[in-house]
Amino acid sequence: MAKGYWVSVYPAVSGPEALTAYDKLARPAVQAGGGRVLSRGARVVAHEAGITQRVVLIEFDSFEAAVAAYESEVYQKAMVALPDGFERDFRIVEGID
């Protein structure tokens, strides 16, 4: 079964400290869904139309588990805590077996 990944890119981050409330809620929701954070705000080298802002990559045991974790009531509560004005490009992608 192919793994699933959450890929989040934040083109505009007014300050990482503004994500504190979201992080406190999102982290346990991701863990409850079986997610493992592979990269969070690490160094980025961007090419072509890429951006160098914050990137978060989270791995799940399956694509279905990644979708279910996003749709969970616990994670949806975390989404409400995202600060106003935050711009995020979020995708759930299926890995290759």
Kindly indicate the confidence band of residue 6, based on its pLDDT and cuts at 50, 70 and 90: very high
Q: What is the pLDDT of residue 41?
A: 77
DSSP 3-state helix, strand, coil percentages of the chain (rounded to 5)? 35, 30, 35
Q: What is the pLDDT of residue 15?
A: 64
- Which domain, by its residues, includes 89? 4-94
The Cα angle at residue 5 between residues 4 and 9, in degrees rounded to 5: 160
What is the model's pTM?
0.87
Q: What is the pLDDT of residue 16?
A: 67
Phi, psi of 34 (to 5 degrees): 85, 10
87, β-bridge pairs: 12
The C-alpha atoms of residue 77 and residue 39 are separated, in whole angstroms, by 23
CATH code: domain of residue 71:
3.30.70.100
pLDDT in tens, 23-79: 899 999 999 999 999 998 778 888 988 778 888 999 999 999 999 999 999 999 998
Q: What is the largest CA-CA distance in the chain?
A: 38
Number of domains present in the structure of the chain? 1
Q: What is the pLDDT of residue 57?
A: 95
Phi, psi of 83 (to 5 degrees): -65, 150
